[in-house]
Amino acid sequence: MDRVAVLASGGLDSAILVAELARSALVHPLYVNAGLVWEREEHEALNRFVRALSSPNVQPVVELTAQVEPLIGASHWSVAGRGIPGAGEPDEASFIPGRNILLLSYAAIWCSTHGVQRIAIGSLAGNPFPDATPEFFDAFGRSLSLGLGHRVGIEAPFRHRAKSALIREHGHLPLELTLTCADPRDGVHCGACSKCVERHSAFLAAGVPDRTRYVVTPAASAPSH
């Protein structure tokens, strides 16, 4: 059976990606702990989802450890937990410099030492960041393969899909176990950050009941089709 390493954050998109790819491949979920404020609860959410999925094609979650604080600074909102982007703030406010570069580099090194040649990432349509474009994934995959002496391809099968479409097609999965929040409170979504608003709005646009637990119900933004 083909094998694929999935960069799995515990969020809704990558959780669906794990389930989708497990239909035809042996999936290795990789969680990269980079020192961001929400990661402990996010990692727990990923393990809950994988257990609930109970698929023989999904391997136990592999945790890799990196540290972004020396790179982006202790005052960055993702490290400090202060000034977390809320609803209506521009996309640039949520940008974590080089995040996909870091995640994919760690995943590629793991793949090179475990005989895996595919990396999948759950980037969606509309992602505006420079390290989430198809051109970047193609070029970076070639560079990583050259530098590691091990062929590895980077796949983003949802890059032309909207979150609402994924929810509509995968509403049968235990999506309420996933975590898409920059400021979770004991496993409960805050409801105020931009990630929570995007998540809730996508459920509304999909016409699927949102079983997510929120501290406060998010204000819906423009629908994601």
In a domain, residue 143? The reply is yes
| Domains: count for the chain | 1
| Residue 125 structural domain | 3-173
Six token digits for residue 133: 């474009």
Band the pLDDT of 221: cuts 50, 70, 90. low
Give the closest residue to 167 by CA, choosing from 129, 134, 203.
203
16 CB-near residues (< 8 Å, 6+ apart): 122, 158, 166, 170, 173, 175
> What pLDDT, on a 0 to 100 scale, did the predictor assign at position 223?
46
Look at residues 165, 120, 121 and name the one whose alpha carbon lies nearest to residue 25.
Answer: 120
Write the pLDDT tens digit of every residue in 14-37. 999 999 999 999 999 999 999 999
Distance CA 179, CA 50 (A): 13
CATH number of the structural domain spanning residue 8: 3.40.50.620
| Residue 220 in domain | no
Would residue 102 count as lying in a domain? Answer: yes
pTM, to two decimals? 0.94
Tokens representing residue 123 in the block: 């980037």
What is the spatial distance between Cα 134 and Cα 176, in angstroms, rounded to a whole number?
A: 29
pLDDT in tens, 52-105: 999 999 999 999 999 999 999 999 999 999 999 997 888 889 999 999 999 999
Gap between the Cα atoms of 42 and 183, Å rounded: 10
| Residue 91, pLDDT score | 82
- Does the residue 168 lie in any domain? yes
Residue type, 151: R
